[in-house]
Amino acid sequence: MPEFTNLGHIDRALTNISVAYMQGANAFIADQVFPIIKVQKRSDVYFKYSKSDSFRNEVRERGRGAESYGMEWNVELEEPYFCRKYALHYDISPEEKVNYDQPINVDKDTAEILSAKMLLKREIDFQDKFFKTGIWGKDIAGVSGAPSTNQVKKWSDPASDPVGDMANIMLAQAGATGYRPNFAIMSPDVFYALKNHEAVLDRIKYTQKGIVTVDLIASLFELDKIFIPWGVVNGGPTTPKYDETMDATDFIYSGQMLVGYRTLTPSIKAPTAGYIFAWTGLEGASAYGSRMVRIKMDQLGLGTERLECEMAYDMKLVCADMGTFLTDLV
């Protein structure tokens, strides 16, 4: 690999383009579900407060002239977050700049392409961190036959009862944590199974819209927000030349759903299913922990410049009992 002729500089204009692109990328949800904690340090510790202490009845009658009863609040030190830095670059040759006609801007286009790749990486990390079995307080599997413990009939089955299933999930999670679930992440195929389900259609047929939307399903399930991630990834191998026969593009999320509670106002004592730590202390980084760096690469050809997109973040599951994960729903 060639050595850099200099360390480069932060291109704030292109960083702003990258941030705007990230905010407008509606197919991805990694930056929308859990609160983003802006951190100045790349790594640090955070604390988890005892759920048992939160709901224990400790108020005592106060005698005349006596002190009030003193409560306890136990704190557990969590595994430190560590914002790993991820990066991708593209080298722009002088010939490429010359051959671009206005209003096409090679720097802007490159910044957007790099940003899209970084968004895809972050979304896959999010899916791998939060969207799988064995990590949440409860896993529920969809089955074709009669459901048993921790099972529901597949929602693609007309005989299933998704509204009743959700009511049971809401009651179980609220009873165990003291917080009613307020969000869900639902893969596109699960959404369309619900959108065409007779039990759902029957309940909304008297609404003004008369069409099943994400907001209507959220209202039906008594959730504040449902996220539908539309991102896709090509799982095929990298090839030296363009070969569409090697493509294996499909949705990142499929057949699954996460129901949970998230806080919108993060604090040291606020329970939540998860947090996203973004290293904003990185020089020139945006609120998402990203930045665009421009580096002169004359050793690759006089006038060649490298645009490099960096992003530093960590994703933490905070309260496992604040989530219920459903699989094989369709």
SS3 38: strand
Strand 257-260 vs strand 232-234: parallel, antiparallel, or unpaired? unpaired
* pLDDT value at residue 52: 63
| Residues 265-279 pLDDT 10s | 887 777 899 999 999
Backbone angles phi, psi at 78, to 5 degrees: -85, 165
* pLDDT value at residue 76: 66
* pLDDT value at residue 4: 43
As a whole number of angstroms, the distance between CA 291 and CA 12 comes to: 8
231: left (phi over 0), alpha (psi -120 to 50) or beta: beta
* pLDDT value at residue 156: 96
Its pTM stands at 0.84
Tell me: pLDDT of 74 over 70: no
Tell me: pLDDT of 261 over 90: yes
Position 135, amino acid: I
| Residues 295-315 pLDDT 10s | 999 999 898 999 999 999 999
| Residues 17-67 pLDDT 10s | 666 655 556 789 998 999 998 898 888 876 666 666 666 677 777 777 777
| Residues 169-188 pLDDT 10s | 999 999 999 999 999 999 99
Domains and CATH numbers, the chain: 9-50+76-131+140-327 (3.90.1690.10)
| Residues 121-136 pLDDT 10s | 999 999 999 999 999 9
Where do runs of H (alpha helix) occur along the chain?
Answer: 12-24, 51-54, 94-99, 106-130, 162-177, 188-195, 198-204, 214-220
